[in-house]
Amino acid sequence: MPGQQQQQDEAGNNPIPACIVLDGPIIVGAGPSGLAVAATLQQHSVPFTILERSGDIADLWTNRTYDRLRLHLPKAFCELPHVGFPPDFPTYPTKHDFLRYLHSYASRFAIGPLFGRAVTRAWYDAPASLWRVTTTATATTASAEATSTEYASPWLVVASGENTEVVMPKVKGRDRIAGEALHSSEYRSGERFRGKRVLVVGCGNSGMEMCLDLCEHGAMPFMSVRSGVHVLPREMFGASTFGIAMKLLKWLPVKMVDRFLLLVANMILGDTAKYGLKRPKLGPLEIKNITGKSPVLDVGAWSLIKSGNIKIVPEVESFSGNGARFVDGNEMSFDAVIFATGYRSNVPSWLQDGELFTEDGKPRARCPSNSSWRGPNGLYHVGFSGRGLLGAGADALMTAADIAGRWQETQVAAGANISSV
């Protein structure tokens, strides 16, 4: 049963918020990963507490994605454990479909996160064998009294996402951009950019899709490309490229599958380098395995690049006023700049751990077979394998089973203690 411990600060006087000692694990984050591990714990009859900084589940999908977003991979590869997508969902569900699925998933497993609790610190209290987790109430919390609370549990599951903090490039003059400047997480639709010249910095899936969206809304997008990128058709021979790659990987080494994918991609798309999108030396799957960076799965931008409706420009050297100077010396003016420059995790800002995560908030090991999802002292991470929703589901199953085993041991020990009194 949860209990409360009164505490004092280091000087031993001012009382600091009561510590709520929880029976089951603490899960940080109510995104798909947090929900998946909670649902699986529920299946094992293990109690849990989810701490979520925003006011609803799946903050990334609800508040930080563009309107036209669809799952990049077919739905079969994006299902969370135990519940498939409804059969009437399209092969590539929209973000609204996906959110409907997540809400019904949360209610099916009676998952009720504590919203408006931003985790600001988590550390392992070795003498007590507990993880101590401090939260600060965010604006979404109705009650003003709970400004800071401490929770404690023998198990801590980090499910706060690989895409939590926006990454902005360090480019000279970025703070002097005269027109509108925003990160892709703030972009919803190209409607308000109609008739405008928009520079999109970054050529990943988001950058490409925003350029497509801008074109469809009558804007003039320019996409700044710094390094090589693999663009692949979303489908090959009527089947999903990702699905084909997964099947081939069962039989062939990564390098051979990459060679096959690139051969077919070149047949379908032509030479992307001719239009300014040079392919990296390593293949798309090899890069994904090493860096976690996904190839672009084309949903229509490529033909607009070929027709010149989306213009490719080089890396930005500096910004000044409403203009950008590129590394080739050319200068152009723009009405708006959108940074499609990605995200990073926020784990280093709150988790005091030296073993499971690197200093920049990435897991130390990505290989799922070597228990990379589990650290020492009851610490776990879910959704950090660089394999999207598919990886999050797999991590969730392993993490919940591991915790369930340990939780049951504590229950047996507690029962033995009671009967021996």
Ligand X SMILES: Cc1cc2nc3c(=O)[nH]c(=O)nc-3n(C[C@H](O)[C@H](O)[C@H](O)COP(=O)(O)OP(=O)(O)OC[C@H]3O[C@@H](n4cnc5c(N)ncnc54)[C@H](O)[C@@H]3O)c2cc1C
Positions in the binding site for ligand X (CB under 6 A): 28-34, 51-54, 58-60, 65, 69, 71-73, 78, 118-119, 159-161, 163-164, 206, 346, 350, 383, 388-389, 392
Give the residue among 277, 265, 266, 205 at the shortest CA–CA distance from 236: 265
Nearest distance from C-beta of residue 92 to ligand X, angstroms = 8
Q: Which is nearer to ligand X, 60 or 324 (CB)?
A: 60
Nearer CB in complex with ligand X: 121/406: 121
Please give the structure tokens belonging to residue 171: 């480019």
- Helices 254-269/284-291 angle, 10° precision: 130
Angle between helices 32-43 and 95-108 (to 10 degrees): 30
Least distance in angstroms from the C-beta of 353 to ligand X: 14
Nearer Cβ to ligand X, position 53 or 230? 53
Q: How many CA atoms lie within 13 A of 389 on its CB side?
A: 19
**How many angstroms separate the CA atoms of 385 and 208, rounded?**
24
Minimum distance of ligand X from residue 230's CB (angstroms): 17
Give min distance, CB of 51 to ligand X, in A.
5
For residue 89, what are the contacts with CB-CB under 8 A and spacing of at least 6? 75, 97, 101
C-beta closer to ligand X: residue 134 or 224: 134
Of residues 214 and 324, the one with the C-beta less far from ligand X? 214
Q: Give least dist CB 84 to ligand X, A.
A: 15
**Nearest to 80, CA basis, from 107, 101, 110:** 101
Residue closer to ligand X (CB basis): 97 or 258: 97
- What's the farthest any 2 CA atoms get from each other in the chain? 82
* Minimum distance, C-beta of residue 217 to ligand X, in the bound complex (Å): 18
Q: Which two tokens stand for residue 146?
A: 């709970």
Beta carbon of residue 317, minimum distance to ligand X (angstroms, whole number): 27
Considering the complex, what minimum distance in angstroms separates the CB of residue 2 from ligand X? 19
Query: By C-beta, is 111 or 324 nearer to ligand X?
Result: 111
Closer CB to ligand X, residue 137 or residue 324?
137
Distance in Å, CB of 136 to ligand X, minimum: 9
Q: Which residue is nearest to ligand X (CB)?
A: 31
| Cβ nearer to ligand X, comparing 46 with 71 | 71
- Least distance from ligand X to the Cβ atom of residue 212, Å: 14
Instruction: Report phi then psi at 372, rounded to 5.
Output: -65, -15
Nearer to ligand X, 206 or 240 (CB): 206
